[in-house]
Amino acid sequence: MAMRGSRGSASVGCAAWVALLLAAAALLLAWSAYRRTGGRLQDLLHGGGAAPVVVGQPPGPAHDALWRGKREVEQRAALTEAEARLLARRTEVEANRDYALARQEVDSVRRDLARAFGDAEAAARARWQAVDDELQRLDAQLREGSSRAVATLDGAVARIRGALGGGGDGAQR
Euclidean distance between CA atoms 105 and 113, whole angstroms: 12
**Helix axes 99-116 and 60-94, enclosed angle (nearest 10):** 170
29 shares its domain with 99: no
Cβ distance 119 to 71 under 8 Å? yes
Q: Do 146 and 96 belong to one domain?
A: yes
Based on the fold, state whether residues 32 and 113 are members of the same structural domain. no
**71 and 152 share a domain?**
yes
Q: What are phi and psi of 131, to 5 degrees?
A: -65, -45
pLDDT for 58 equals 56
pLDDT of residue 96: 80
Q: pLDDT value at position 171?
A: 42
Say if 57 falls within a structural domain.
no
Domain count for the chain, please give it: 2
Is 93 found in the same domain as 30? no
What is the distance, to the nearest Å, from the Cα of residue 54 to the centroid of all Cα atoms in its chain? 17
The verdict on 74 and 144 lying in the same domain is yes
Tell whether 49 is covered by a domain. Answer: no
For residue 152, being part of any structural domain is answered with yes
30 shares a domain with 73: no
Domain that holds residue 28: 2-39
Both 70 and 147 in a single domain?
Answer: yes
Supply angle C-alpha 66, 127, 79, rounded to 5.
70
**Helix (H) or strand (E) run with residue 9 in it:** helix 2-36
Q: Is the pTM of this model over 0.85?
A: no
CATH number of residue 158's parent domain: 1.20.120
Low-confidence ranges of the chain (pLDDT < 50): 1-2, 167-173
